[in-house]
């Protein structure tokens, strides 16, 4: 009895135009005896009732008949499978859970049924406010209409234009979202990338490396540098020149590749401009020190610190230019950095 | 953008198979600098925004590169070149990006040919001129 009440409650909600077409075809399929007169009598009041969104006395009689015809269908559903009952129970839960339940049903059905289910899912995704009730309403229709393949085929052709550009992705267990539709051109690429990321996650677990710094020697040097009361390095301006020299030494002694050292120098320059993330990466400091850095930065005053950083970065870039051309890659980045500094000054 | 891609590629070649955490993403300082380039002078970018954009651009590069790599695998080639990247952009539906990227690639190759000539003629100052030209070309590419 509770399921019947749920069915009536679902029917009472306003459905979009497409669902009316679905319902009319369902109506034709179920009532073969009254094809001629009853369908013509019931279709007009049904459509006009939903179109005008008002129930009149004359049309209420017409509307009663579809409800009466709905009753045997519900009884058939209860007798046929337990799956419809589970679907009705899902309606009481969340909309997302209901959306997730429909997907396993598609696995059991044939390809045409899966496409039809995709159509109905698309319909539900288009109308978000009514998605919960539409899915609850559409699932019994799927069970009822399963034997009639011709109606599926005709129904699918009605929705062909909507599916042309989009393909539904298989759902992720981790994400609670509903089905996601993507560009058909990108479907295989996205699937491939998902597999690559999953493989990378496994590899990452096998070889887990959580280093707060990238280079051991730079980390040791940063630990040896004197720090002030707030945790920041002392003598920032002169130490920039020192860091430039250190870059040369590291480049010569350790034999690191040009690309890596250049990237590190660029990050250090960025930290002088004001980004704390590069500073954290370079120094390997703890979160407490980074918090104190923010505090000392605010206490010092934005304008003075800003201008000081610019002067320091300018000196740093000029020092590197004076040293001469290191190679093919370093000069364009430094020129770009200098350009950014000058833009910031203006 | 070209330099950033090259940097990532070289780092991956160094590791030889094990992908480190810092090589999975682009350097956050470079991402922040690119984001800052399009904003007005006094705009600020939060760290969370930079990290989100870092994830997005890194995934986009991997997405396009895997499509190009798949094409090279089918054609039994080992080198992924610029034409493969342009083809991958067009195949994935990024038509608005594919055409400017082809023009950029065409202009880049012209500049390379010119610099090979200059390099043959003058052997003294060629590195500096080449670097300046690459910087200008890269800047122009961003403007496209």
pLDDT digits (tens, 9 = 90+) for A225-259: 888 888 888 877 654 444 444 444 344 444 333 43
A178-231 confidence digits (pLDDT tens): 788 888 889 999 999 999 888 888 877 655 555 677 788 988 998 888 888 888
Q: By the CB < 8 Å criterion, does B22 face chain A?
A: yes
Q: What is the C-alpha to C-alpha distance for residues B15 and A265, in angstroms, rounded to an integer?
A: 21
- Residue A30's pLDDT is 40
pLDDT tier for residue B47 given thresholds of 50, 70 and 90:
very high
Q: What is the length of chain A?
A: 346
Q: By the CB < 8 Å criterion, does B76 face chain A?
A: no
Beta bridge mates, A167? A182
- Residue B117's pLDDT is 83
Q: By the CB < 8 Å criterion, does A343 face chain B?
A: yes
Q: Do A270 and B29 touch (CB under 8 A)?
A: yes
A93-97, B82-86, B128-132: range with highest mean pLDDT:
B82-86
- B123 or A98, greater pLDDT: B123
Q: Is residue B43 part of a domain?
A: yes
Q: What is the C-alpha to C-alpha distance for residues A225 and A234, in angstroms, rounded to an integer?
A: 8
Element (H, E) at B132: helix B126-143
- Mean pLDDT score, B21-44: 87
- Mean pLDDT score, A280-289: 38
Angle, helices A2-12 vs A83-92, to 10°: value is 60
pLDDT tier for residue B86 given thresholds of 50, 70 and 90:
very high
For A213, nearest residue in chain B (alpha carbons): B22
Q: Is residue B133 part of a domain?
A: no
pLDDT tier for residue B123 given thresholds of 50, 70 and 90:
low
CB atoms closer than 10 angstroms to residue A242 = 12
Q: By the CB < 8 Å criterion, does B9 face chain A?
A: no
Distance from CA of B71 to the nearest CA of A (A): 12
The answer to whether residue B54 scores a pLDDT higher than 60 is yes
Q: By the CB < 8 Å criterion, does A96 face chain B?
A: no
Our measurement of the distance from residue B71's CA atom to the centroid of its chain's CA atoms, rounded to an integer in Å, reads 19
Mean pLDDT of chain A: 49
Q: Do B63 and A275 touch (CB under 8 A)?
A: no
Beta bridge mates, A168? A181
The answer to whether residue B68 scores a pLDDT higher than 80 is yes
Q: Is residue B40 part of a domain?
A: yes
Mutation target to probe the A interface, by most A beta carbons within 10 A, among B14, B29, B49 is B29
- Residue B59's pLDDT is 92
Q: Is residue B13 part of a domain?
A: no
From the list B10, B32, B132, the residue facing A259 with the nearest CB is: B10
Q: Do B19 and A329 touch (CB under 8 A)?
A: no
Q: How many domains does chain B have?
A: 1
Q: Which residues of A touch B91 (CB under 8 A)?
A: 185
pLDDT tier for residue A2 given thresholds of 50, 70 and 90:
low
Distance from CA of A250 to the nearest CA of B (A): 18
Q: Is residue B28 part of a domain?
A: yes
From the list B10, B18, B127, the residue facing A328 with the nearest CB is: B127
For B138, nearest residue in chain A (alpha carbons): A332
- Residue A210's pLDDT is 58
- What SS3 class is residue A103? helix
Q: Where are the alpha helices (DSSP H) in chain A?
A: 2-12, 17-30, 35-52, 57-80, 83-92, 95-108, 111-126, 131-144, 149-158, 160-163, 187-206, 216-224, 236-253, 258-273, 276-283, 287-300, 302-323, 330-345
For the ranges A47-56, A157-166, B62-71, B87-96, the lowest mean pLDDT is seen at A47-56
For A193, nearest residue in chain B (alpha carbons): B63
- Residue A118's pLDDT is 41
The answer to whether residue A305 scores a pLDDT higher than 50 is no
Q: By the CB < 8 Å criterion, does A336 face chain B?
A: yes
Q: Which residues of B touch A325 (CB under 8 A)?
A: 127-128
Name the B residues in 96-125 with CB < 8 Å from any A CB: none
Q: Do A278 and B28 touch (CB under 8 A)?
A: yes
- Residue B56's pLDDT is 93
* DSSP conformation letters of A118-144: HHHHHHHHHSSTTHHHHHHHHHHHHHH
Residue B51 maps to which CATH number?
A: 1.10.20.10
A116-157 confidence digits (pLDDT tens): 444 443 433 343 343 333 333 433 333 333 343 343 444 443
Q: Is residue B115 part of a domain?
A: yes
Q: By the CB < 8 Å criterion, does B131 face chain A?
A: yes
- Residue B53's pLDDT is 93
Furthest C-alpha separation in chain A: 97
Q: Is residue B139 part of a domain?
A: no
- Residue A238's pLDDT is 52
From the list B21, B24, B127, the residue facing A325 with the nearest CB is: B127
Q: Do B24 and A200 touch (CB under 8 A)?
A: yes
Burial class (CB in 10 A: 0-12, 13-18, 19+), A344: middle
pLDDT tier for residue A168 given thresholds of 50, 70 and 90:
confident
A30-87 confidence digits (pLDDT tens): 444 443 444 334 334 443 444 433 334 443 334 344 444 434 443 443 443 344 334 3
Q: By the CB < 8 Å criterion, does A344 face chain B?
A: yes
The whole domain housing B54 covers 21-123
Q: Is residue B90 part of a domain?
A: yes
Q: By the CB < 8 Å criterion, does A328 face chain B?
A: yes
- Residue A169's pLDDT is 75
């Amino acid at each position: 009895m509770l399921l019947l009440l749920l069915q009536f409650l679902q029917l009472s909600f306003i459905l979009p135009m497409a669902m009316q077409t679905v319902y009319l075809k369902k109506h034709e399929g179920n009532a073969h005896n009254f094809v001629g007169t009853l369908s013509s009598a019931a279709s007009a009041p049904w459509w006009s009732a939903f179109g005008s969104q008002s129930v009149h006395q004359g049309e209420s009689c017409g509307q009663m008949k579809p409800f009466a015809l709905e009753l045997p269908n519900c009884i058939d559903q209860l007798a046929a499978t337990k799956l419809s009952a589970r679907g009705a129970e899902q309606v009481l839960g969340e909309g997302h859970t209901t959306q997730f339940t429909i997907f396993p049903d598609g696995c059991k059905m044939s390809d045409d049924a899966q496409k039809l289910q995709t159509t109905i899912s698309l319909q539900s995704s288009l109308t978000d406010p009514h998605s919960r009730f539409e899915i609850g309403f559409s699932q019994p229709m799927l069970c009822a209409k399963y034997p009639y393949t011709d109606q599926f085929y005709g129904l699918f052709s009605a929705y062909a234009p909507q599916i042309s550009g989009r393909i539904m992705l298989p759902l992720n267990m981790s994400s609670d979202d509903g089905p996601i539709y993507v560009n058909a051109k990108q479907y295989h690429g996205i699937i491939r990338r998902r597999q690559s990321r999953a493989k990378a996650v496994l590899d990452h677990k096998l070889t887990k490396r959580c280093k707060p710094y990238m280079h051991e020697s730079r980390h040791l040097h940063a630990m040896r540098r004197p720090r002030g009361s707030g945790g920041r390095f002392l003598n920032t301006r002169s130490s920039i020149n020192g860091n430039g020299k250190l870059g040369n030494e590291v480049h010569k002694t350790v034999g690191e590749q040009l690309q890596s050292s250049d990237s590190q120098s660029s990050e250090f320059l960025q930290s002088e401009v004001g980004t704390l993330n590069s500073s954290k990466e370079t120094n390997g400091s703890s979160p407490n020190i980074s918090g104190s850095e923010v505090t000392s930065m605010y206490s010092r005053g934005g304008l003075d610190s800003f201008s000081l950083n610019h002067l320091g970065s300018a000196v740093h870039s000029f020092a590197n230019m004076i040293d001469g051309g290191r190679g093919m890659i370093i000069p364009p980045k430094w020129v770009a950095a200098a350009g950014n500094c000058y833009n910031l000054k203006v | 953008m070209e330099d950033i891609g090259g940097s990532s590629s070289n780092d991956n070649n160094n590791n030889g198979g094990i992908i480190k955490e810092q090589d999975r993403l682009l350097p956050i300082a470079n991402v922040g600098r690119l984001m800052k380039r399009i904003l007005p002078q006094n705009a600020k970018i939060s760290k969370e925004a930079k990290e989100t954009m870092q994830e997005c651009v890194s995934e986009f590069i991997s997405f396009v590169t895997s499509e190009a790599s798949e094409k090279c695998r089918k054609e039994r080639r080992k080198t992924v070149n610029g034409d493969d990247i342009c083809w991958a952009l067009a195949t994935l539906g990024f038509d608005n990006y594919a055409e400017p990227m082809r023009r950029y690639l065409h202009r880049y190759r012209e500049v390379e040919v010119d610099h090979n000539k200059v390099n043959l003629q003058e052997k003294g100052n060629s590195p500096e001129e080449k670097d300046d030209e690459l910087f200008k070309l890269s800047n122009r590419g961003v403007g496209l």
